[in-house]
Structure 1
Amino acid sequence: MTTRQDIRIPAGGEQIAAYLYLPDTAPPHPCIVMAHGFTATRDDALPDYAEAFQAAGYAVVLFDYRHFGASTGQPRQLLDIGEQRADYHTVIAWARRRDDVDADRIVVWGSSFSGGHVLAVAAADPRIAAVVAQAPFTDAIAALLKVPLGNAAKIMAAAARDQVGAWLGRPPRLVAAVGPPGTLAAMTSPDAEPGFRALVGPESLWRNEFTPRLMFKFAFNRPGRGTARLGMPVLLCVCDDDVVTPPGPTVDAALRAPRGELRRYPYGHFDIYTDPQVKTDQIDFLRRALSAVPG
């Protein structure tokens, strides 16, 4: 039977909300640290992954970033790339201090926007045992080329208003994360809004909003370019029809990684969350990747 604990992890005066899943096997356990992508929360489709990993013998820490979901942090919906990666490092450090976790067999897992985060996190922490990134955001330039020009201009105007307001101490001027084609939102491909909303369960604290000031740093976010520096096993799961995180840069990132593995799936960005084969592939990868790590 699946069991989990609802915990809080201190983070710079704030609290990161997380679910802790522990398997029935004897400790210390290999541990998977995971978080969601662009504005999504820990309750949005990821418990199914955590339960599958738990059943396979892994501890899992599934968390919300500060400013999102059940975690604390003001202003709400502040999407800061550096802060989100710092939250990964905070949760990893917390897991390593636990007696029931094998500190040398910690895996970072990410999906979509966080699929890029985990590549950067692992590059900064060579002690990470393995990386799993599905439908990952690996190159902002490729993603921006898919955004309609008119929508991009509107988002940048909103970003300017939001940033100036932040400098003046005003509340954020939020923009939708997903919306129908032609609307003002970060993701407006035909599959974006229905695909995203299909992930959101009844207990979710997801809000369809983010701080557009992110866009002033967004174009410099290209974590896939650093995979040549990753010495640990890396699995990249690519959706061939993905228009949210285009597959080309991710395929290239997998080829650059010294111990990279690539799995390709014949569908769009959001279909990967409901494909049971993906979880099977990831568990198979983890067993192979961690088999050579003492534990």
Structure 2
Amino acid sequence: MKQDIRFDSQGSSCAAWFFQPDTEGPYPIVVMAHGLAAIKEMRLAAYAEKFAEAGYASLVFDYRHFGESDGEPRQLLDVKKQHQDWKAAIEFARQLPGVDPKRVVLWGTSLSGGHVLQVASEVPGIAAVMAQVPHLSGVASLGMISLPKILSLTLHGSYDTLRGMLGLSPHYILSSGEPGELAIMTSPGESQGYLELVPEDRQLDRRIAARFATSVGLYSPIKALSKLSMPVLMQVATEDVTTPAKPGIKAAPKYANVELREYQTGHFQPYVEPMFSRIVGDQLAFLSTAVPL
């Protein structure tokens, strides 16, 4: 059963879906949110439905400033604010009917795949973490793009940061675009893969406040791995040109609690068939042992 629901984060209302399994509680809950400037309608329900069929509840939410959540200005991506939203969602999830508050699992993908690692290191009592094609290293991500693009994004990001300091409206760039366009994701085929996740009856605001471009290179949540003791599933795509797999492949073997899965695919293929069934199947197998019913 899927229910529209809302919760408070720092005084603003976040839109969410609550998926309940057709079983008696108390049951574990998987807290879920999307990646870069994406919204919950972009295929997250497909995962939550699979989890519910297996007996796990899910709370799927949009960050402040995005989708159906409140927050002004729109399309403002601030990593600290998104971490606050995760913490508010976790607290809310623990109070939902039928949920076992001691069995909360964090599920993140792309940028939020990094968020779940960082947040799990700061919130007590997280039972397990699943990080799908995660953003792990800002330096590694910057290494995937050209110097001219880095300089252009830095210029636009600095201008937007100044506007923010002066209390002015944001200066926007695109979250995704074709090669040569001013956008965060511009590798060949990436924008198409990103936009194909948007339902036909839904319009996606592709803008993003440019100030994010000055902070993403400094964000390396892979450092949080050393602070985690709960089971972690890390799923990386070896052909990923948006969130490179190499940092995860290098780091994961150092930690006994981290299960690394490698897939010969790109960044957006895990969300759709035929790769989706394999990806979510591995997540369900992980849940069955890490957080058994």
TM bracket (short chain): over 0.9
Query: In the alignment, which residue of structure 2 is the partner of 1:239?
Result: 237
Q: Partners in 2 of 1:206 and 1:166 — Cα distance?
A: 23
Question: How many pairs align?
Answer: 290
Q: Partners in 1 of 2:202 and 2:130 — Cα distance?
A: 24
Query: In the alignment, which residue of structure 1 is the partner of 2:218?
Result: 220
The 8 Å contact of residues 139 and 249 in structure 1, kept in 2 or not, is answered as: yes
Q: Partners in 1 of 2:12 and 2:97 — Cα distance?
A: 24
Q: Partners in 2 of 1:12 and 1:146 — Cα distance?
A: 35
- TM-score if structure 1 supplies the norm length? 0.95
Query: In the alignment, which residue of structure 2 is the partner of 1:71?
Result: 69
**In structure 2, the residue corresponding to 1:104 is in which secondary structure?**
strand
Query: In the alignment, which residue of structure 2 is the partner of 1:112?
Result: 110
Distance apart, 1:191 and its partner CA: 1.9
Q: Partners in 1 of 2:50 and 2:218 — Cα distance?
A: 34
The 8 Å contact of residues 153 and 214 in structure 2, kept in 1 or not, is answered as: no
Deviates further, 214-223 or 80-89: 214-223
Query: Equivalent residues in 2 for 1:23-38 (5 A)?
Result: 23-38=21-36
The 8 Å contact of residues 138 and 224 in structure 1, kept in 2 or not, is answered as: yes
Percent of aligned positions that are identical:
40
Distance apart, 1:57 and its partner CA: 0.5
Query: In the alignment, which residue of structure 2 is the partner of 1:278?
Result: 279
> Which aligned runs of 4 or more in structure 1 are off by greater than 6 angstroms?
none
Deviations 1:69-113 (A, max 9, x none): 000000000000011111111010011123411011100000000
The 8 Å contact of residues 110 and 133 in structure 2, kept in 1 or not, is answered as: yes
Query: In the alignment, which residue of structure 2 is the partner of 1:83?
Result: 81
Structure 2 alignment gaps of length 5 or more: none
Change (3 A) 1:226 1:71: same
Change (3 A) 1:225 1:252: farther
Q: Partners in 2 of 1:256 and 1:7 — Cα distance?
A: 40
Change (3 A) 1:61 1:205: farther
Query: In the alignment, which residue of structure 2 is the partner of 1:98?
Result: 96
Deviates further, 231-240 or 206-215: 206-215
**In structure 2, the residue corresponding to 1:20 is in which secondary structure?**
strand
Query: In the alignment, which residue of structure 2 is the partner of 1:129?
Result: 127
Deviations 1:130-178 (A, max 9, x none): 0000100000000001112111111111111111111222110010011
Distance apart, 1:205 and its partner CA: 4.9
State yes or no: 1:42 paired with 2:40. Answer: yes
Query: In the alignment, which residue of structure 1 is the partner of 2:174?
Result: 176
Partner letter of residue 201 of structure 1? P
2:198 aligned to which of 174, 197, 200:
200
Deviations 1:103-133 (A, max 9, x none): 1110000000000000001111241000000
Structure 1 alignment gaps of length 5 or more: none
Aligned-CA RMSD value: 1.2
Distance apart, 1:252 and its partner CA: 2.4
Q: Partners in 2 of 1:236 and 1:159 — Cα distance?
A: 30
Query: In the alignment, which residue of structure 2 is the partner of 1:257?
Result: 255
Query: In the alignment, which residue of structure 2 is the partner of 1:269?
Result: 267
Deviates further, 210-219 or 61-70: 210-219
The 8 Å contact of residues 128 and 231 in structure 2, kept in 1 or not, is answered as: yes
The 8 Å contact of residues 109 and 118 in structure 1, kept in 2 or not, is answered as: yes
Q: Partners in 2 of 1:207 and 1:261 — Cα distance?
A: 35
- TM-score if structure 2 supplies the norm length? 0.96
Deviates further, 150-159 or 14-23: 150-159
Deviates further, 8-17 or 30-39: 8-17
Query: In the alignment, which residue of structure 2 is the partner of 1:190?
Result: 188
Q: Partners in 1 of 2:87 and 2:201 — Cα distance?
A: 26
**In structure 1, the residue corresponding to 2:108 is in which secondary structure?**
strand
